[in-house]
Amino acid sequence: MAIKVCKFGGTSMSDSKAISRVSEIIKAEKDRRYIVLSAPGKRNKEDFKITDKLYECYNTKCKCGTCAEPFKFIRERYQEIVDALKVKIDLKSYLDVIQKEIDESTAPDYAASRGEYLSALIMAKYLDYEFVDAAEIIRFKEDGSFDDVLTNELASARLSGVAYAVIPGFYGTLPNGVVKTFSRGGSDVSGSIVARAVSADLYENWTDVSGFMTADPRIIDNPKIIKKVSYQELRELSYMGASVLHPDAIFPVRLSGIPINIKNTFSPEDKGTMIVAHSPAHKADELVTGIAGKKDFSVILVEKSMMNSELGFARRIMSVLEEFGISFEHMPSGVDTLSVVLATSYLVGREDKIVARIIEAVSPDSIVVHHGLALIATVGHGMNAKVGTASRIFTALAKANVNVRMIDQGSSEKNIIVGVQSVDYEATIKAIYNEFFGEN
Ligand code: ADP
Ligand code: ASP
Ligand code: MG
């Protein structure tokens, strides 16, 4: 029998109605044996995500000593699910323990993880599958980085004797047993870890759209669904903001070549997107696979005459960044200028200190910091076979009156990144989309 690992995201788990759809999907195929779940997401635009509320619970307990007030919302949401689905579980006892432990916790991770914990506990009972806690099988190292070797050993051993299991996504434990989460959207990573551990034939990632689209559907109306895409292209797109799949979800399955199928819980018959090891052959007119972008970047622009002949100039700037724990995105340079593009969040509350340290390290002629930059990536394996892709992007942006502040084309033409002002973010995506996918 084939083995499928299925991960269901927040919208798929948002209430009892959605959850009964999920259970129908699981029961429709006997191969759907290992189920990884997210916490309930939003039921409508005005609603909140359980995970966000749990972070609020932690913050409230830090301020007021107890999370009792916001925790009421958590109680209500799960009560609706358990009541409507008639799941036999002593929910109140679980919730009481969780509330108490959040009040005693010293980091937000435990609180944040309880959304997926409860989702999986309830679903395991509902489906009559075994509940396997992620705390047992997903491990982080002491420094907080993910321990892939130990995790794969533990997860393979634990799941090998279990035919059908439900596992909470998003978290694991540190060597001292304390809960730690992945970054937001991390249940996608948990699903991939489980798929590798059980040597799955397929990792189905069930969400609320019918596949990976050529651009963010919140910006472009009805973008095309990408039928098939390589791990590499997918990683570039998701890292650059196509939030449908966590960018790190590629790594565990890539090691054993397990394909990922993005599927829509609310339209299960749609084929979705297949993410595979090798890029499918592109037709001549399929240069670009997709476009993605993200906001909230800054540029530190350093100028110094003759910097090119000064040995170790870039290294000294990089060691300042390292000192502050900053990993930067790009470092475009000119003859006498070097700029560092980094997430603005790294600068908050310490920009002056970082600038002062760079001045101390390289004595520049000038140093300025610009905020409000957005980065947009145009990705495609077909692009390197055809000259002129970059010029099509820049012509389209010039026509749309967008001022390009930064360009990074890397060493191959598989990914061209432009930096623009955040106000031009949507216009940039639209202009590039129309150039490559528009009906002209
Ligand atoms: P889940 O809760 O199932 O993990 P997410 O909200 O994390 O779902 O991801 C799905 C959402 O990603 C979609 O609803 C869509 O708004 C957004 N999205 C952004 N870029 C893309 C893209 N290129 N293709 C499809 N969806 C995208
Ligand atoms: N619930 C977590 C989040 O909202 C993880 C996930 O859904 O993948 O980020
Ligand atoms: Mg997600």
Tell me if 431 CB under 6 Å of ligand 2.
no
Tell me if 39 CB under 6 Å of ligand 2.
yes
What's the pLDDT score for residue 307?
85
What's the pLDDT score for residue 223?
94
pLDDT band at 396 (very low <50, low <70, confident <90, very high): very high
Strands 415-421 and 406-408: antiparallel
Domain locations in the chain as residue ranges: 4-276, 290-437
200 vs 167: CA distance, rounded Å: 15
Ligand 3 centroid to Cα of residue 355, in Å, is 36
Is residue 152 predicted with pLDDT exceeding 60?
Answer: yes
pLDDT band at 207 (very low <50, low <70, confident <90, very high): very high
User: Looking at the CA of 10, which ligand is closest?
Assistant: 1
User: Which mutation among 50, 243, 267 tests ligand 1's pocket best, with the greatest number of atoms within 8 A of CB?
Assistant: 243
Ligand 2 centroid to Cα of residue 285, in Å, is 37
User: Looking at the CA of 206, which ligand is closest?
Assistant: 1
Which stretch of 136-150, 192-206, 383-397 has the lowest confidence by average pLDDT? 383-397
With tokens 């107890």, the residue in question is 66
Tell me which CATH homologous superfamily contains domain 290-437.
VC0802-like (3.30.2130.10)
Q: Summarize the confidence of residues 206-221 as an average pLDDT.
A: 96
Q: What is the 3-state secondary structure (H, E, C) of 176-191?
A: CCCEEECCCCCHHHHH
Is residue 321 predicted with pLDDT exceeding 70?
Answer: yes
Ligand 1 centroid to Cα of residue 211, in Å, is 9
pLDDT band at 257 (very low <50, low <70, confident <90, very high): very high
Q: Summarize the confidence of residues 162-175 as an average pLDDT.
A: 98
Amino acid at 314: A
What's the pLDDT score for residue 415?
87
pLDDT of 398-434, one tens digit each? 999 999 988 887 666 688 999 999 999 999 999 999 9
Which atom of ligand 2 is closest in space to residue 9's alpha carbon? 7
pLDDT band at 287 (very low <50, low <70, confident <90, very high): confident
Which atom of ligand 2 is closest in space to residue 49's alpha carbon? 4
Considering only CA atoms, which of 227, 322, 210 is closest in space to residue 276?
227
pLDDT band at 31 (very low <50, low <70, confident <90, very high): very high
Tell me if 115 CB under 6 Å of ligand 2.
yes
Percent of the chain with pLDDT over 90: 85
Tell me which CATH homologous superfamily contains domain 4-276.
Acetylglutamate kinase-like (3.40.1160.10)
118 vs 73: CA distance, rounded Å: 14
What's the pLDDT score for residue 407?
86
pLDDT of 343-369, one tens digit each? 999 999 999 999 999 999 999 999 999
pLDDT of 72-93, one tens digit each? 999 999 999 999 999 999 999 9
Q: What is the 3-state secondary structure (H, E, C) of the chain?
A: CCCEEEEECCHHHCCHHHHHHHHHHHHHCCCEEEEEECCCCCCCCCCCCHHHHHHHHHHHHHHHCCCHHHHHHHHHHHHHHHHHHCCCCCHHHHHHHHHHHHHHCCCHHHHHHHHHHHHHHHHHHHHCCEECCHHHHCEECCCCCECHHHHHHHHHHHHHCCCCEEEECCEEECCCCCEEECCCCCHHHHHHHHHHHCCCCEEEEEECCCCCECCCCCCCCCCCECCEEEHHHHHHHHHCCCCCCCHHHHHHHHHHCCCEEEEECCCCCCCCEEEECCCCCCCCCCCCCEEEEEEEEEEEEEECCCHHHCCCHHHHHHHHHHHCCCCCCECCECCCEEEEEEEHHHCCCCHHHHHHHHHHHHCCCEEEEEEEEEEEEEECHHHHHCCCHHHHHHHHHHHCCCCCCEEECCCCCCEEEEEEEHHHHHHHHHHHHHHHHCCC
Ligand 1 centroid to Cα of residue 429, in Å, is 16
Query: Which tokens sit at 358?
Result: 């760079």
